[in-house]
Amino acid sequence: MFSSEQSLLLVIDVQGKLFELMHHRGHLVHVIPRLIQAAKLLDVPVIHTEQAPDKIGKTVDSIASLLTEQKPITKRTFSCCRNPEFTEILSFHGRRQIVVAGIEAHVCVYQTVSDLVEKGFGVQVVTDGVSSRHEHCVEIGLKRMEEAGAKMTCAEMIICEWMQSADHPKFREIMKLIK
């Protein structure tokens, strides 16, 4: 089970022109912000990335507005793990449990998750927090990530896993996000 003390939330490439093409994008703009808000309440660090923002655009406002205290990691590699700035920041946080949301499930999310698992991190993919342009690409991406060794979760499940109990001091605040 993942704990808030050992987890880090990674939000991959939820940005501009690419986001507009996503399958179920309306759902993502509700799920990912809730994940970020819960992570912040529970002191889980959040990292977010942008793939070639000069071409694709910046992080969507509903997410960027929650992350004003940090700048996104700009990358051109599909896997975040092949970006030196990302690996440096990941190392700085020292967390070994990585919770992943973002786009696209079959490209950047898949390659990042595969690399993280290969490097020995525990990885959970938030299935209701990832997407691709086509539904079948999401399905294939999730299948391949699971085959690589990642676990599948959903936003509410990982948030409750981070709290571990209704006695958690932030329980009521978190429940307002979930309900």
Amino acid (1-letter code) at residue 47: I
Assess if residue 2 is contained within a domain. Answer: no
Task: Tell me which of 13, 81, 115, 128 is the catalytic residue.
Answer: 13
| Whether 8 contacts 44, CB under 8 Å | yes
Assess if residue 138 is contained within a domain. Answer: yes
Domain with 32, as residue range(s), is: 7-178
Q: At residue 175, does pLDDT exceed 90?
A: yes
Task: Tell me which of 81, 108, 115, 128 is the catalytic residue.
Answer: 108
Task: Tell me which of 75, 81, 128, 160 is the catalytic residue.
Answer: 75
- Reported as a single tens digit per residue, the pLDDT across 121-170 is 999 999 999 999 999 999 999 999 999 999 999 999 999 999 999 999 99
Assess if residue 1 is contained within a domain. Answer: no
The pLDDT value recorded for residue 66 is: 97
The pLDDT value recorded for residue 25 is: 86
CATH number of domain containing 14: 3.40.50.850
Please, what is the average pLDDT of the chain? 96
Rounded distance between C-alpha atoms, residue 31 and residue 95, angstroms: 23
Burial 59-97, CB ≥16 within 10 A → b, else e? bbeebeebbeeeebbebebbbbbebeebeebbeeeebbb
Q: Which CA distances in Å does 151 have to 16, 27, 59, 145, 172?
A: 28, 21, 26, 8, 27
Q: Which CA distances in Å does 118 have to 64, 99, 145, 150, 163?
A: 29, 15, 11, 10, 27
Q: pLDDT category, 24, cuts 50, 70, 90?
A: confident
Annotation says 13 is catalytic:
yes
Assess if residue 52 is contained within a domain. Answer: yes
DSSP code for 106: I
Total domain count for the chain? 1
pTM greater than 0.85: yes
Annotation says 61 is catalytic:
no
The pLDDT value recorded for residue 100 is: 99
Assess if residue 162 is contained within a domain. Answer: yes
Annotation says 75 is catalytic:
yes
- Reported as a single tens digit per residue, the pLDDT across 32-66 is 999 999 999 999 999 999 999 999 999 999 999 99
